[in-house]
Amino acid sequence: MALQDKYKELTDAATAAGVGNLQVREQDGVLYIDGEAPSGSVKDNLWNIYDKIDPNFLSGDLVMNINVSTAVPGAKVKVVTEKSNLNIRKGPGTDQPIVGKAAHNEIITLVSKSSDQWWLVRTNDGEEGYSYAQYLAPVE
């Protein structure tokens, strides 16, 4: 039985639960599953499925590297620009008008991730709009 078939329930559950950046690859008789779970309960559920398929994790044929995303809606993110303010725009794109700014190192709220590049954010002053995700980092 191919490893991807053996662990199909696990990979299907990861997909259904919205695990981001999900990567599944087989190498040298080991299946690697990497990704970013939207919550701790999703990660716990994946480990429970893994334990059901391979009780006590004895086979040694799977490496699961699923981290819990700290940048989830409602989480705090830090502006990590070099030194300038971060533009907050009306829509996702540099062609959109600027509706506000967040200061370098300011902690703001992530409202949603509209894409990997543009996140909807809200400042402490209530300004809401889209900012380039490259300049935002989860607050640990």
pLDDT 10s digits, 72-99: 777 889 999 998 999 999 999 899 999 9
Q: Residue 9 sits in which domain range?
A: 3-68
Say whether both 64 and 30 belong to one domain: yes
Q: Is there a single domain that holds both residue 51 and residue 99?
A: no
* pLDDT, mean of residues 57-68: 87
Dihedral sign (CA 94, 86, 129, 119): positive
Question: pTM value?
Answer: 0.56
pLDDT in tens, 100-114: 999 999 999 998 887
Q: Please tell me whether residues 64 and 88 are part of one structural domain.
A: no
Shared domain check, 127 and 106: yes
What is the 3-state composition of the chain as percent helix, strand, coil, each rounded to the nearest 5? 25, 40, 35
